[in-house]
Structure formats: structure tokens, C-alpha cells
Amino acid sequence: MSHNPGPSTSVSEAIATRRSIRAYTDRPVDPALLRAILEKAQRSPSGGNVQPWMVSVVTGASLAALIAKVGERQAMGIMGLQPEYQIYPEPLADPWMARRYGVAHAMYAALGIAREDRDARAKAMAANFTGFGAPVVLFVHCPKFMGPPQWADMGIWLQSVMLLLREAGLDSCPQEAWSVYGKTVRDHLGLDDEQIIYSGLAIGWRDTDAPVNNFPVDRAPLNEVVSWHE
Ligand SMILES: Cc1cc2nc3c(=O)[nH]c(=O)nc-3n(C[C@H](O)[C@H](O)[C@H](O)COP(=O)(O)O)c2cc1C
């Protein structure tokens, strides 16, 4: 059931073919191509044109070193955690919780992992901290004093980058998981504690055959999220 969508030639196609890619080939990403994409993404809108996103691109030896450092924190178990922010509200009620579980169950099913196999699930989760084998992981961060509107701006920027990557035939996976080792990431990037790590973005060439890249991820029907007022 492998699927190689190739480069997208319209925004609709880029949106339709983007999915979170959690397995990559060894093919490197041309730094000039990535620079051109980030240059284009600078046209992203932001409230007041504040452009709060700050970006650190990590590849090669630097990425390997970061993965090793985060690996050391992971080995410490819960003592190693350094969460930048709470990723999900607690408790998270339905329908949101059901959606969150829905994609997790679909992914574990694609990987052949049984619901009760906690070790295998933890291992699949830990793949986040290798960037899923992508040759590039970028981090989007901003000063800590920025508020929800500026965080939304960072999300808009991320989507611009993800769609431009699709236009170039590349793929990605946004990764807020890195924020649970925020201080290690910040120290590695030479950022002070006044910055906050919002999300990573793994970038590379899609391994089209990997089951983890081929399970269906549904969306709520429009009438669950849109109301029309005349
Ligand atoms: C800001 C953001 C952070 C995310 N963080 C992670 C992450 O840490 N690890 C992961 O595997 N997926 C992460 N995802 C991917 C979501 O799980 C995914 O977008 C969602 O399930 C919809 O699936 P799709 O992207 O394949 O369409 C993140 C997505 C966004 C937008």
C-alpha cells in the first residue's frame, strides 16, 4: 500500500499529500533547497507582522550530538524530563481525546503494535528523538514572553514550510515531543532560558514503503467544526 505522491503542483495537492512522515530514506536534503524554502516561508502572515518565529536548523554532526544528548536524558526516565510547556490540557475531554487516541491507535496498528504492549509503544514514541531518521530537524522557538497569538503565528509558519516542502517533493513531521527535553535542546542550540522551544520539524525524503507512513489519518466531518451564520 505504498504511496509516493511526488512534488505537489498546487496548494490543494500539497495539503492533500502532506502527512506526518515518521520514516525517511538516507537521501540528504540540499541545503540550498531548504534555504530557498525558508526564504519563501518568510512571507507567512503574523499578527501585527511581528514574525515571532525563530528557527534553528540542525543537521549532520550537530543533529547526531543532539540525539545523543537527548538519549542520555531519556535514559534517566522521568527524572530526565524538562518540559517547556504542557502539550495537552489535562484532562482532555472528547471529542478531542477520542481524536488523539484515534490517530495513536491507527499508527500502532500500522506498526503491528498491540494496544497493551507498552514497551513497543514507548519505543515507537522514542523514535521522535531521532527525528524519525530524517537528515534535518529544525526547531521553531520564540521569546518566552510571547503569548498564544504569537504561538499561533509559529503554527502558521510551520504549515507554510510543510506545504513548501511538499512542493519540492520533500516531507516532514512536526514534533512538539522535543519540547519535553527543552533545556537540552536549548543548550545544544546555544539559546538562553528566555527562549522557549515550541516544536521540532523533521525534514527529509519520504520512505514510501514504511507502514508508519501509510495508515489512514481521518479528520472530523465539517459539520463538527464549522457553523454557518446568515
Ligand atoms: C505542532 C504539532 C506538533 C506535533 N508533534 C508531534 C510529535 O511530537 N510527534 C509525532 O509523532 N507527531 C506530531 N505531530 C503530528 C500529529 O500527530 C499529526 O499532525 C496529526 O495526527 C494529523 O496527522 P497527519 O499530520 O499525518 O495528517 C504534531 C503535529 C503538530 C501540528
Please indicate, yes or no, if residue 229 is contained in any of the structural domains.
no
pLDDT digits (tens, 9 = 90+) for 189-201: 999 999 999 999 9
Q: What is the pTM of this model?
A: 0.98
Distance from Cα 76 to the centre of ligand 1, integer Å: 25
Sign of CA dihedral 21, 26, 31, 36: negative
| CATH at 164 | 3.40.109.10
Please indicate, yes or no, if residue 185 is contained in any of the structural domains.
yes
Please indicate, yes or no, if residue 147 is contained in any of the structural domains.
yes
Total of domains in the chain:
1
Distance from Cα 176 to the centre of ligand 1, integer Å: 8
Determine whether the shortest distance from the Cβ of 173 to ligand 1 is under 6 A.
yes
Query: Cα–Cα distances in Å, from 63 out to 19, 78, 146, 199, 205?
Result: 23, 23, 27, 15, 17
Please indicate, yes or no, if residue 149 is contained in any of the structural domains.
yes
Structural domain span for residue 30: 20-86+129-216
Distance from Cα 191 to the centre of ligand 1, integer Å: 24
Please indicate, yes or no, if residue 166 is contained in any of the structural domains.
yes
pLDDT digits (tens, 9 = 90+) for 32-61: 999 999 999 999 999 999 999 999 999 999
Determine whether the shortest distance from the Cβ of 185 to ligand 1 is under 6 A.
no
pLDDT band at 110 (very low <50, low <70, confident <90, very high): very high
Distance from Cα 73 to the centre of ligand 1, integer Å: 22
* Rounded CA separation 224/117 (Å): 33
Residue 2 is predicted with a pLDDT of: 63
Residue 1 is predicted with a pLDDT of: 52
Please indicate, yes or no, if residue 195 is contained in any of the structural domains.
yes
* Rounded CA separation 94/106 (Å): 17
Determine whether the shortest distance from the Cβ of 159 to ligand 1 is under 6 A.
no
Please indicate, yes or no, if residue 6 is contained in any of the structural domains.
no
Please indicate, yes or no, if residue 10 is contained in any of the structural domains.
no
Index of the ligand 1 atom closest to the CA of residue 132: 11
Residue 59 is inside which H or E element, if any? strand 54-59
The phi and psi torsions of 11 (rounded to 5 degrees) equal -60, -40
